[in-house]
Chain A
Amino acid sequence: MSSSSTPERIGDETALVALEEVEEVEALEQPRKGEAALGEAAAGAGGSGWVTAALAAPGLLWIGFYLIAPLVIIVLVSFWTFTDAGFERTWTLDNYSELFHDSTYWDNMLSTFLTSVIAVVACLVLGFPVAYFLALKVQSLRIQIALFIIALAPFWTSFLTRAIAWTFPLMGREGALNQILIKLQILSEPYQEFGFSTLSVRLAMIQLYILFMITPLFFSLAQVDRHAIEAARDLGGNWWRTFREVILPQTMPGIVIGSIFIFVLTMGDYGTVATVGGGNITSVGTLIYSKIGAVQYPQGAASAVLLVIVLMVGVWVITRFSNLREEL
C-alpha cells in the first residue's frame, strides 16, 4: 500500500487488503474460530451473557452431577477402605499397592490392552475400504447417506443381541461356523474352542465397534477435495502414491478420532467380554465388576483409576499422530 504505484483496477492490492480486513472484521463480528462454523445468534438485549449461561447451565449441571461427581468419587474411594459399616475415609494407598503387586492384574491389563490394539488396527484396516467406498466412490449424495445409514443402523440395535449371536449360534459347538467348516470338510469334528474364546471376543468387538471407526473416517474422507486427487494423478502419481501423499494425510484426523474411540471403548468394555466370553475371558472391565460384586469397592475403584490413567496415556499417544486441535 505504501508503494506509489497506481492500481488500475480494484483487483490487485486493494482486494488483497480488503480480504484481510474482511476476515478481521468478520472475526470480530462473529465468535471465535471454534464457534464460527455455528454462526452467531444476534445479541438481543445487552444481557446476552446471562442468557448464554442460563442455556448452558442445565446441561452442564447434569453432566457435573452424573459424570464429574461419579468420577471424583471413584478416585476418592480408591484411597479409602470399605467395611460393613460403610466407607472408612482414612487415606490409604493399600488398594494401589495390592494391585501393583498383583501379577494377574497386570496380565489381565496386558491382555485387554492387546485386544484393544488388535481391535483398533482391525477396525482401521477393515473399515477404511468401507469409508473410502462411501465417501469417494459413490457419486450421488443421497445414496451415500442412505448407504451410510444402512451401515450405521446395527449400531443402534442392542449390542447385546449381536453379542449373543457370537456365542452359540455362530461359534458354538453346533454353531454355524463349525457346521460350515465341517461341510467344507476342513474340520472332521466340531472345534470346541471357537465359542467363548478370546477369538470370539475379539471378533465380536470388531463387529460391534467398527462403526465408531467408519463414521469419523467417512466424514474425513468426504472432505477430501476430489480435484486434489485428480491433480495428483494428473501430475503423474500412481494410485498408491496419490493415496499416501494426498488422501492419507487428510484422513489423519478421522483415523485419530476413530482410534481413540475404539481404544477407549474396548479397554473399558464389560458387556461384550462378559457375554461373548461367557466367564472364560477376563478383561479389566470384568475384573472391576467382580471386585464390585465381592463388595471390594476400594480395590474396584483403584482398578478403575488405573484404567483411566492407561486410557489417558493411550489417547495422548494416539493424538501425537496428528495435531488434532488444528483440524477441529
Chain B
Amino acid sequence: MQEHETDIEGAAPAAPSPQSRSGLDLVGLTKVFPGGTVAVDDVNLHVSHGEYVVLLGPSGCGKTTTLRMIGGHEFPTEGEIVLDGQSLVDLPPHKRPTTTVFQHFALFPHRSVLANVEFGLKMHGVGKEERRQRAFEALDMVGLTPLADRKPRALSGGQQQRVALARVLVTKPKALLLDEPLGDLDRLLQLRMRVELRNLQRQLGLMFIHVTHNQEEALSMADRIVVMNEARIQQIADPLTIATKPATELVARFMGDNNIIRGKVTERDGDRLVVEDEEHVRASVQAPGASQKVGDEAMISVRAAAVDVDPNGAAPAGGLNTAECEIVFVEFLGDLVKLHLLTGGERMLAKVGAEHYPALRGREGERIAISWKEADVQLLDA
C-alpha cells in the first residue's frame, strides 16, 4: 500500500484525482538522483487555490525535494506538474507563477530591504515609480516600512522573515512555496508566526504549500497534511484525521503520542478484528475493508490521549482493550500528565489531565490498569 488519500470521514483509499483545470496537480512525480537514490517516488497530489497544504515528514523523506520540483529548482525524473492546466515542468523558476520562501530567508545581503523587495518587480521590467510604490505596499503589509533602508544583517530573524515574505508577495504569485519558514525563529516567535502566517494566507486567498518536520506546526496551520516518508506519501488528510486516525505505522509514530501494538489477528468477525501481541495485550478494532485473516500479522495504534487510567482501579486479567502496566515515569507537563508505562517489554503512553497528578505522583514502580475504547483503535498499514 503506497499511498492513502482519505477525506474527513476516513473513507476508503481513492484513485489519484484526475487533472483538473484549476489548482496544482502533481502526477506521478518522481525524482531519482544520479547515483540511484530515489528521493521522491510517485507522488500524486492535487492542491486547490486558497488551500494551505503542509508537507510533513522526517528529514530526508522527500518533502523538500518535492517542493523544489514544484518551484523549478530541481528537475523531475518522471511525472508532471500542472498548474491551472499549464505544465510547469519545462519552465525555469523565473517563468513559473510560483515563488519560494527559503529556509534561511536567502535575502540579498548587499541590498537594502527595499531593494530586496523590489527585486522581483525589477526583473519583470516594472517601472521605477510603480516598483517603489508596490514595494512599499508589501512592506506595509508586513509592517516593516520604517526599516526599508536597512541591510538584512541589521535585522532580527523575525524581521528578515517578513522581508522574505514581502519580497515574494509583491510579485503576486499563484502559489507560494515555503521551505521550513519558521525553522530559524525563536520558539515564542515561531508560535506566534504560525497564527499570523495562517491569517495572512486566509486574507490573501493564496495557495500555500509549506514544508516542515514539525508536527505541531502542521496540525496548527494546515487545511490538509501530506505525510511523507522515504520518498512516498503515507497519508493525505486534514489535521484531525491525521491526529486521530493515522493510516500507517510511520504516520502513527511520527505524529507521536501513539501506542502501537504489533501482533497477530486472533479473531475476525465481519469488520471487527481482534489483535493480540506477545504480551497478551488484546485490542479490538473496526476495520472495514481490511484484508487480514486470522493468523495474519497486524498492527494497531491507540492515541495516548484516548487511554483511560484509573489510579485506584484494580488490574483485570487478560481483558480486551485493556492492559496492566508498571508505571515507569510520571511526567507533569503543566496542562497534562504523561504516564510512561511498561507492559512486559513494551512501552506505552497515556495522557491524562493535570487534575490526576496528585493521585499519580510518586507512584513509579506500582502497577496500574489502563483501558481504551474500540472506536479509538486504528488498524495500521505497514
Interface residues, chain A, with chain B CB atoms under 8 Å away: 4-10, 14, 17-22, 24-25, 28-29, 42-46
Contacts and interface: CB of A to CB of B under 8 A. Distances in A.
A278 B353 CA distance: 92
Contacts of B346: 4-6
B254 interface: yes
**Chain B: number of interface residues, binned into ranges:** 20 to 34
A63 B92 CA distance: 36
A6 B259 contact: yes
B258 interface: yes
A10 B256 CA distance: 6
Interface of B: 33, 35, 37, 39, 58-62, 64-65, 73, 75, 92, 213, 215, 253-254, 256-262, 277, 304, 338, 340, 346-349
A6 B33 contact: no
A14 B58 contact: yes
A29 B65 contact: yes
Contact of B58 (A5, A21, A28, A46): A21
B60 A22 contact: yes
A315 B351 CA distance: 65
Given A18-B213, A29-B65, A42-B73, A6 B260 contact: yes
Given A5-B346, A18-B213, A25 B59 contact: yes
Nearest to A5: B347
A18 B59 contact: yes
A19 to B, nearest CB: 7
A10 B304 CA distance: 14
A168 B15 CA distance: 92
Contacts of B262: 4
B258 A6 contact: yes
Nearest to A9: B256
B256 A25 contact: no
B104 to A, nearest CB: 12
A10 B215 contact: yes
A28 to B, nearest CB: 5
Interface of B is mostly: mixed
B61 A21 contact: yes
Q: 10 nearest interchain CB pairs? A: A21-B60, A22-B59, A18-B58, A25-B60, A5-B347, A18-B59, A28-B33, A8-B349, A4-B262, A10-B256
A14 B349 contact: no
A61 B235 CA distance: 54
Contact of B59 (A4, A7, A19, A42): A19
A48 to B, nearest CB: 11
Contacts of A17: 58
B303 to A, nearest CB: 11
Contacts of B59: 18-19, 21-22, 25
Contacts of B62: 25
Given A4-B346, A21-B58, A25-B39, 15 more contacts: A4-B277, A5-B347, A6-B259, A6-B347, A6-B348, A8-B304, A20-B60, A25-B59, A25-B60, A25-B65, A29-B39, A42-B73, A44-B92, A45-B92, A46-B75
A18 B60 contact: yes
A46 B60 CA distance: 24
B257 A8 contact: yes
23 contacts: A4-B261, A4-B277, A6-B260, A6-B346, A6-B347, A7-B256, A8-B257, A8-B338, A8-B349, A10-B254, A10-B256, A17-B58, A18-B60, A18-B213, A21-B61, A22-B60, A24-B37, A25-B37, A25-B62, A25-B64, A42-B73, A44-B92, A45-B92
Contacts of B215: 10
A291 B159 CA distance: 70
A24 B65 CA distance: 13
Contact of B340 (A4, A8, A24, A45): A8
Contacts of B348: 6
